[in-house]
Structure 1
């Protein structure tokens, strides 16, 4: 009999955090799951711990890359292709969670629900808690303080097309059958999760619990940290790709001010530390918004 949940743990150079990740996955109060371990050519000693846990009875796969894939979403796709469960949990290797994470989130699924998620607590490199993750509050300061359900169409129209309001994959569980037909964004480095959430929610409903069951670690190696200029350019291009793709169906509802954060983020990251030397990208963003 196949497990109900496939837990995919994609790792790249997160040796300091792996033990806590494993402890909070393998000791879940809900136990009907398999674990798929992936490594993207780590060089920090992760392999020893991964290979040791490969013998755990819950581990169905250990896949070790000899060359880095260049995209976390290639790893996601690899794990999903191997998954046998009806539900997928991408448990990022530098995060951790409460032991009742799966038990709580699985109860939120109804017939038409394709994605459920919980509130996240931000933690730093040392594991110190820094408060609730508030990235989505720019759209609505009160919404994520309460649990809710919504249709996928409304969630996209009202929130998700403006910015990635589901900011940490470790907080999400989704139905595997809903992702099977998605054209996976393996060309993306930063924003593939945003793309995937939108594509999933075109197929059904969403549920959210305001319980902080996930701990989202922020450090210099996370995708949201400041990167070298060429990578930050790629990040902005990915933002624009998603905005342009998913705004077409809602053209009469466009409010350009909802997207100014993209320009502001680019400006602030580089102007503040005097690294901004390539202004044409600023004008690319501006000209893109003028098309709305």
Structure 2
């Protein structure tokens, strides 16, 4: 019998974290699943650790090795092509699921056929002591304004979602040309094929550490985010008002400025703050943070 859910875990040089990630799948209360690990050309001991876990697994467990590092999008897409389940859930190799994550999400999708996927809240966790430092809700979409809300403020962690595989394929999977924005780009496209739901509780632990993909790629935000957003706004041009589009662009440039401030790039921070102002929507808390970051780096 084929599994109902395919869990896809892309990984690259995660020898210190991959065991905890995979064991969180072993510990799921919902068991009709398969595990697919795509190693993206690791040069450390990740592959050996994964193969030992494969030997211990009571679940169907497949390991595929890429000979070179092609990026997380290519690894995830390969996982989808290999997946036997009707549902797909991605799990980054530095994240961790709480034990009832898949059970609650499959129950939601089985009961709500108009939804193509469902996400959850996130528990942000300190790398050193594994203490939860913050809870964050993901973007909860209202049917009337879901496209605007998703484009204006897309706080979605990929490991939070369970998606119908058919919808992923229709949406075109992850764009391998993108780096920083590959996940948002996909979530922006998915509402063309159905609704995205939300379970209002943390079902995923997001580990905060210096090697996370989001930190490494912070300097690449503008190069990938702006073209992806521009393309998506063209798709949804008849569904959004001019004011909504202006708000989306203002927030996008403020987000890029925020990333630039985190990366210590003061010139890019200032340029993108100015671009955000041109659209007439100012995020005061973010602006205060960036001004403080610039001041601190100078003085």
Question: TM-score normalized by structure 2?
Answer: 0.80
Tell me how far apart the structure 2 counterparts of residues 73 and 237 of structure 1 sit (CA, whole Å): 16
Counterpart in the other structure of 2:161: 172
Counterpart in the other structure of 2:231: 245
Q: Does 1:133 align with 2:122?
A: no
Cα offset, 1:247, TM superposition: 2.0
Distance 1:195 1:278, change over 3 A: closer
1:14-29 equivalences under 5 Å are 14-29=14-29
Contact map agreement 1:116 1:173 (CA 8 A) in 2: yes
Counterpart in the other structure of 2:293: none
Q: Does 1:80 align with 2:64?
A: no
Q: Does 1:224 align with 2:211?
A: no
Distance 1:285 1:63, change over 3 A: farther
Q: Deviations over 1:175-207 (max 9, x none)?
A: 001111233311111111111112222111222
Runs of 4 or more consecutive aligned structure 1 residues displaced over 6 Å after TM superposition: none
Counterpart in the other structure of 2:4: 4
Tell me how far apart the structure 2 counterparts of residues 266 and 193 of structure 1 sit (CA, whole Å): 16
Cα offset, 1:155, TM superposition: 1.6
Counterpart in the other structure of 1:139: none
Tell me how far apart the structure 2 counterparts of residues 19 and 84 of structure 1 sit (CA, whole Å): 23
Q: Deviations over 1:262-282 (max 9, x none)?
A: 333444444577544669x93
Contact map agreement 1:96 1:215 (CA 8 A) in 2: yes
Contact map agreement 1:150 1:205 (CA 8 A) in 2: no
Distance 1:218 1:195, change over 3 A: same
Contact map agreement 1:162 1:243 (CA 8 A) in 2: no
Question: Which ranges of structure 2 fall in alignment gaps of 5 or more residues?
Answer: 280-299
Tell me how far apart the structure 2 counterparts of residues 272 and 10 of structure 1 sit (CA, whole Å): 26
Counterpart in the other structure of 2:51: 51
Q: Deviations over 1:86-111 (max 9, x none)?
A: 10000111111111111111111111
| 1:163 counterpart (150, 153, 170) | 153
| 1:194 counterpart (154, 166, 184) | 184
Question: Which ranges of structure 1 fall in alignment gaps of 5 or more residues?
Answer: 137-143
**Tell me, what secondary structure is at the counterpart of 2:108?**
coil
Contact map agreement 1:53 1:59 (CA 8 A) in 2: no
Tell me how far apart the structure 2 counterparts of residues 57 and 124 of structure 1 sit (CA, whole Å): 30
Contact map agreement 1:171 1:214 (CA 8 A) in 2: yes
Distance 1:3 1:247, change over 3 A: same
Counterpart in the other structure of 2:275: 286
Q: Over aligned residue pairs, what C-alpha RMSD do you find?
A: 2.8
Question: TM-score normalized by structure 1?
Answer: 0.82
How many pairs are equivalent? 270
Tell me how far apart the structure 2 counterparts of residues 179 and 130 of structure 1 sit (CA, whole Å): 32
Q: Deviations over 1:203-247 (max 9, x none)?
A: 1122211111110112222232154xxx72x32122112321222
